[in-house]
Structure 1
Amino acid sequence: MSSPTTDRATTAYFPLLAAERLDIALCRASTAVARAADAQTGALGLGVGQHLVLKMLAEVGPCSQRVLSDELRIDRTVMVGICDGLEQAGHVRRERDATDRRAYAVTITESGRKLLAQAEDAVPEFLDGTFHALTPAERGQLSGILGKLLQARP
């Protein structure tokens, strides 16, 4: 059984650690946002990775799984499972790539576009709820800073 003093020290430690270690703060914030995103997309029966794949396919057109994996920074073995699930549900289809007969191009279907539209409709409310502690200016700053970090790392 812990004492009240121990409980107070424990609940006050993480903010100190996060202030001292930016890497830890970013990892924990990322985990919290990922959990919230999973809960949000899960309501539609769509995982975050699946949402990202549908979004990219809708915006850039058919892509190989390798390109999807590289661009979305999703492990290639995980990408296979994401595309398998989307294909089984009828949200994407795989077709031989006309430029490379060894590869397949993943294409979004009409069903995938409808599901993506539903998921995208929920994004503003999700962002407002997840980032409620930040002002719009702070959200813009955070977006810029994270974009800069992501540009610096492959």
Structure 2
Amino acid sequence: MTDAIPLARTDAALIALRRILRATEQYERELAQAAGLTPAKLRVLQILSAETGRQAPPSRLAGRMGVSQATVTALVDQLEKRGYVLRERSVADRRQLLVRLTEAGAEALAQAPDALQQNFVQGFQALHDWEQAMLVASLERVAAMLNASGIDASPVLTLGEIGRPRG
């Protein structure tokens, strides 16, 4: 009987992990269909939308997303092709490049379904401090069990590489 309990818990844990993966996949499909965006591209638009003047240097985008400047460059390239952002020189410092959200980008952002990540953030922030700490510790433990502790990842809920062209 003692072997059945851990097996049931193991199955329950694997089912929960699979549900998380499937929710992420489903959200990505809905986002791609509704707005033609990946979660990472949506995050760029969200960050720009919240910035003063709806613009920011690529370094700020990279820092906010926890990714490299090269990844941001790839994302901005793809968004620029769709007319969602523009690259412009700063008026204050002509050496500085800024990425600006266009009206088309703002419209795509408005049409995007509610972000899975935003739902998580709202739920997570509603938890008590000790619950947040426990959940982070548990998730870090799961990542270690999957030999994923050393994998570089940004705080964007998506599958695969976030700079990869997909939508």
With the shorter chain as reference, the TM-score category is: 0.5 to 0.7
Calculate the TM-score normalised by the size of structure 1. 0.61
Q: Distance in 2 between matches of 1:142 and 1:32?
A: 27
Mapped partners of 1:68, 1:93: distance in 2: 14
Q: Deviations over 1:66-116 (max 9, x none)?
A: 100101223322211110011111110000123443331000001001101
Give the Cα separation in 2 of the matches to 1:30 and 1:72: 21
Question: Which deviates further from its counterpart, 37-46 or 59-68?
Answer: 37-46
For 1:59, the aligned partner's letter is A
Do structure 1's residue 55 and structure 2's residue 41 form an aligned pair? Answer: no
Structure-2-length-normalised TM-score? 0.57
Structure 1 vs Structure 2 CA RMSD = 4.0
Aligned to 2:83, the other structure's residue is in SS state: coil
Identity rate, percent: 23
- Structure 1 unaligned blocks of 5 or more: 1-8, 20-24, 150-154
RCO (CA 8 Å, sep 6+): is it higher in 1 or 2? 2
In terms of fraction of residues, the more helix-rich structure is 1
Shift of residue 50 of structure 1? 0.9
Counting only pairs closer than 5 Å after superposition, residues 57-136 of structure 1 correspond to structure 2 as: 57-60=48-51, 61-119=54-112, 122-123=113-114
Q: Which amino acid is the alignment partner of residue 37 of structure 1?
A: Y
Letter in 1 for 2:31: T
Q: Deviations over 1:118-150 (max 9, x none)?
A: 01xx217x68xx87xxxx97883289828x96x
Closer/same/farther in 2, CA of residues 18 and 34 from structure 1, 3 Å limit: closer
The residue aligned with 2:26 is 36
Q: Does 2:37 correspond to 1:46?
A: yes
Runs of 4+ in 1 over 6 A off after TM superposition: 136-139
Gaps (5+ residues) in structure 2?
A: 1-5, 137-167
